[in-house]
Amino acid sequence: MDIFIAPVKFYSNLLLQNLIKELSKRFSSSIHVVDIKLNMDDFFSIDRKQYFSTQIIAEMINLTDQYDGKIILLTDVDIFVPALTFIFGEAQLNGKHSILSVCRLHEIFYSGIANESLLLERTIKETLHELGHNYGLRHCIDWDCVMHASHGIEEVDIKGITYCNKCRTKVEGYK
């Protein structure tokens, strides 16, 4: 099953290209970049200065019928669900759609120092994580597994960058 990356309000072409390269090493499925005409501003909360991810996913469903595979929306903007202050990403469990924000994956937000390789590593981890949810995986207890929960950036950095054996078997097309 193919993987479709839909960059929306996403401005780093280099990061996108590197992500595709890394995903291609990990999946036998084809990776495509698609342009979906989704207006993110419709989901912007003026109070929170963030974008409501659950509603974005609902809109993605309307716009991506033609794609047979997993579709992940990649964005630079900060996203939220109402109960929480922020989220890195959201995915349909056992579904087709997910969203990942790299906004809070930038090291510069935390230490003031940009680190592009760390940003790529975090983006790979969180992309694999959200895709994992699409493939039906819930959070894994193994810290070496990319499906371990990451509720803060520290936990993104601690956890591994691959699926553990148990999770890997459930992910379609993972080498």
Provide the binding-site residues for other proteins, judged by CB under 8 A.
48, 54, 80-87, 90-91, 93, 108-113, 133, 138-143, 149, 151-155, 158, 164, 166, 175
Return the ∠ at Cα 36 (arms to 75 and 175), rounded to 5°: 70
Residues marked active site are found at 130
Closer CB to other proteins, 7 or 134, in the complex: 134
Closer CB to other proteins, residue 68 or residue 154? 154
Cβ nearer to other proteins, comparing 7 with 106 = 106
Calculate Rg over the CA atoms of the chain.
15
Closest to other proteins by CB, 7 or 120: 120
Look up residue 68 and give its DSSP letter: -
Residue 63 CA to its chain's centroid (Å): 18
Pairing of strands 31-33, 50-52: unpaired
The secondary structure of residue 141, as a DSSP letter, is S
Neighbours of 157 (CB within 10 A): 14
Smallest gap from Cβ 147 to other proteins, in A, equals 9
Q: How far is the CB of 110 from other proteins (least distance, A)?
A: 5
Q: How far is the CB of 122 from other proteins (least distance, A)?
A: 14
Residues 6+ away with beta carbon under 8 Å from 90: 53, 54, 57, 79, 81, 98, 99, 130
Residue 42 Cβ vs other proteins, minimum distance, rounded to whole Å:
16
